[in-house]
Structure 1
């Protein structure tokens, strides 16, 4: 029997009881104020001080072309289709043309990926995890400048292998903790974020008992709060530099009491980011719900990541029909794609305008083998882009992307305002020199930002 238990401290109970500070907004204010909030929270102004490699300020009148190269905000997609642990496929090897199209669409728009390490599919035989597949994912991400998060280290649903079924519950808990440590240490320095415990709020649901009775029983015996805290303690020890996320689709007090509060105490928190799932197979969220979810979890003073987002592009009743009608295929439609594009633009705009949100991950980039058989992709099964992909491109690499052509004033100074992120600058002086440099823009960037430019090829 387990002796460990967790008593929720007063700080955690107080957080559960309250919402984020600030006056509530109505739907018109949520939508109507989005652009102003985006300018306030996602942009910054600074003076740039341009100098050559000898430290001499560039002459007044120098032409400066400033181009954003990366958002600070994380716009992401799950990489499951490319590196598929359940079929043990690297699709660059098994479906190279489709993989190339998928990869090109991914890197054109996104800067963040979620790589899957579900224990049940990842280590079907003890001691034989699919490290090679994850390493291939890491190598691909590094080539394209994609930051990676691992998902999930712990899940008592499909997330544990069948070979632990014969273990006693205490041994199963230790096996789970060791597995967590091994994966984190293996990819330390390559995967900087991890969903640690997935979906603790409804850990005892029926399908969890069917899929993984031993770990579910262990969580019940130990107390889910104590189990959650133990896993985060072991994760923090395994890689102190990693960012640790909570993650759940249950967005009420159960999530707060079981998945967040056990990680809070008078010394701080054992997690770094609140993860929110937002699969909308049944119906899209209203602006009011989107904002209220952000406000509810912003009170913890941690960044919010929307970790799993789905808005299908087919029959609005497709989820019910796929469950109840034999042979029904939930396919994308022209009408559904137009509706998906509208909802995607609304959802991303509201989240991008909320100061606590730092990442949004779309779950299935393509309809091919999408979760629940839904037309859930931003791409069709043939990897052609849907209107929703185009809508996001117009936002992420258009409306929310900074390019500027201006001239330096005396002392090589340039007044600049742009979206937070990384930039490239190309300068042309009146005497024909072409120089280039790079800089990053953050809310706390110094002003002026000193930039040394070197000869451009």
Structure 2
């Protein structure tokens, strides 16, 4: 079978799921939870309210006079919302063909990429960080400069993960493990080096990672001061420009189940007067409990995000793994992806979502057993990829057309993002770029043409 029929089949599968047609491989309890009219109504309502904005275009001639009956077409090009994935294996697959397919699959649906800054692999030898192209090969750890250059070339927003993740297994052998004061001296120097090199080029950073598990498993982490999180955010606040988003990132159960602990950690930082721009929320599920409706039902997710959203910082789903194992695994994964992303996209304070591994076989260690990629080991799309593609590039993109009124205005409501505007007026077809976002003012479009 050619790839085109496969792609059509995958799109039809996702469309059938969204339309509510019976899905044999999807557990009944999952369908019951996610097809709940109260849940679907809220998702639709919040998507319309929070992901769209009103746009007004004012078309005038060179003398500033309004042009009536100009034909206008607005076609959305990009999203304001961040749809992302980690970029950990860019250029590291076995063949040029696989690397090219990886890049094509990435750029088709994602505008956001997570770059790895695990200290142990970034600077295994003290004083010799692996920033630049040509650095020694480490699987899933390409040099950050390569990844950032690729992001810039493809119009993708970059995120650094993480400024400090002091879990022993991800740290260099040469850092101090049992002296909090000495370690923080090393940590401050490390953060300063990252800020100096990337401070104005990487838009988002996880400042610290998995703080709740750290406190619960101190033996697995470097010894740090009691005010570790405060010290880290204080340094990040000092080192990075105000337009760089600073996140505190934590695990799935820590944010969705022990939400009070997550809330307390964020409040501690805010109460100290520190800038916290985002709350990072992991969503790794490695068994079948989610698709069987046993954990993270939609009403719990909505309630959790409502609660965390009241703290002030934006929310980010930072690491997503949904398994695709078993005979029905691909179909179940696609169903989970479609439903979760609809909910996340609708959440008022949500700024972005990040898949953790694009391809099967590119995850960390035995996490590969989950087959959690959106594409298979050959970098060919799975049903889950088709589900995301359908949402991001079709259902959640606006194309509007019409004619200007007597005052030269054309108004529409569309998903937030960048648009290509085509205007037929004064005997010419002209193209313009506009951005649709909250609170946008009427945008004046000046068309060239003969004086009237």
TM-score range, shorter chain: 0.7 to 0.9
2: CA distance between counterparts of 1:291 and 1:161? Answer: 39
Picking from 350, 363, 369, the partner of 1:357 is 350
Cα 1:153/1:453, change in 2 over 3 Å? farther
Contact 2:59-2:67 at 8 Å conserved across structures: no
Q: What corresponds to 1:440 in structure 2?
A: 435
Instruction: Note the aligned Cα RMSD (angstroms).
Output: 2.1
Q: Which of 257, 260, 270 is matched with 2:266 structurally?
A: 260
Does residue 288 of structure 1 match 2:294? no
> Aligned with 1:291: secondary structure?
helix
| Residues paired across the two proteins, number | 389
Alignment pair present for 1:278 and 2:283: yes
Q: Pairwise mapping of residues 340-419 of structure 1 onto structure 2 (< 5 A)?
A: 340-371=333-364, 372-373=367-368, 374-419=370-415
Structure 1: which 5+ residue stretches go unaligned? 1-25, 83-89, 316-332
Equivalent residues of 2:57, 2:409 under 8 A apart: yes
1:198 counterpart residue number: 209
**How many Å apart are 1:169 and its aligned residue?**
3.2
User: 1:262 offset after TM fit, Å?
Assistant: 2.6
Measure, in 1, the Cα distance between the counterparts of 2:448 and 2:236. Answer: 43
Pair 1:112-2:112 in alignment: yes
How has the CA–CA distance of structure 1 residues 300 and 269 changed in structure 2, closer, same or farther, with 3 Å as cutoff? farther
Deviations 1:393-448 (A, max 9, x none): 111111110112222223432121111111111122262x12111111111101x2
* Structure 1 match to 2:174: 163
- Cα distance between partner residues in 2 of 1:405 and 1:130: 50
Q: 2:18 maps to what in 1?
A: none
| Structure 2 unpaired stretches of 5+ | 1-34, 133-142, 291-295
Residue by residue, what CA displacement relative to the aligned partner does 1:83-112 show, whole Å, maximum 9, x if unpaired? xxxxxxx438x6422121111111111111
Distance verdict in 2 for CA 1:129–1:453, change over 3 Å: farther
Quote the Cα distance in structure 1 between the aligned partners of 2:269 and 2:333: 36
Deviation track 1:311-330 (CA, whole Å, cap 9, x = no partner) reads: 11113xxxxxxxxxxxxxxx
User: 1:29 maps to which residue?
Assistant: 38
The correspondence of residues 112-191 of structure 1 with structure 2, limited to 5 A, is: 112-132=112-132, 133-157=143-167, 158-165=169-176, 168-191=179-202
Partner of 1:22: none
Note if contact 1:42-1:419 (Cα within 8 Å) is conserved in structure 2.
yes
Q: 159-168 vs 196-205, which deviates more?
A: 159-168
Say if 1:290 and 1:347, in contact at 8 Å, map to a contact too: no
State the distance in 2 between where 1:358 and 1:79 align. 19
> What residue in structure 1 maps to residue 72 of structure 2?
64
- In 1: Cα distance, 2:261 partner to 2:88 partner: 28
Which stretch has the larger CA shift, 365-374 or 194-203?
365-374
Residues 178-187 or 289-298, more deviating: 289-298
- What's the TM-score, normalizing by structure 2? 0.81
Structure 1 segment 296-375 matched on structure 2, within 5 A: 296-315=307-326, 333=327, 335-371=328-364, 372-373=367-368, 374-375=370-371
Tell me, in whole angstroms, the C-alpha distance in 2 between the residues paired with 1:355 and 1:140.
31
Could you tell me how far 1:192 is from its partner in structure 2? 1.3
- Rounded to whole Å, the distance in 2 between the matches of 1:360 and 1:149 is 12
The 8 Å contact of residues 114 and 161 in structure 2, kept in 1 or not, is answered as yes
Whether the 8 Å CA contact 1:277–1:307 is kept in 2: the answer is yes
